[in-house]
Amino acid sequence: MADATTTAKDRIDRALATLERKVLDLKARPATAPAVGDDDLFAPRAGLPEDAERIAALEAAGRDAAGALANAADAVRDILEQQAKDGQG
């Protein structure tokens, strides 16, 4: 479980770092500058293999994160349930 969580966190960290770099690059550009080809970070771009890899990595990170969050929610529910039982006894 920890390995999947660490992997998901690493993927999210890489995606956030890329996003932050692109945002800083866009902010540094003057308003009169021509549009950047990838200024819409969430728009799908077809035909480039690196885009397919990027999208697959983001989808995998999302699935990993969702699974980790579901497991954490289950663990919290179990702890709360156990505390409720211990408090009644």
pLDDT tens-digit series, residues 45-74? 566 777 778 888 889 999 999 999 999 999
Domain ranges of the chain: 2-88
Which string of DSSP letters, residue by residue, matches the chain?
-HHHHHHHHHHHHHHHHHHHHHHHHHHHS-TTSPPPTT-STTS---S-HHHHHHHHHHHHHHHHHHHHHHHHHHHHHHHHHHHHHHHH-
**Contact in structure between 1 and 71 (CB atoms under 8 Å):** yes
Q: Indicate if the pLDDT at residue 89 is higher than 60.
A: no
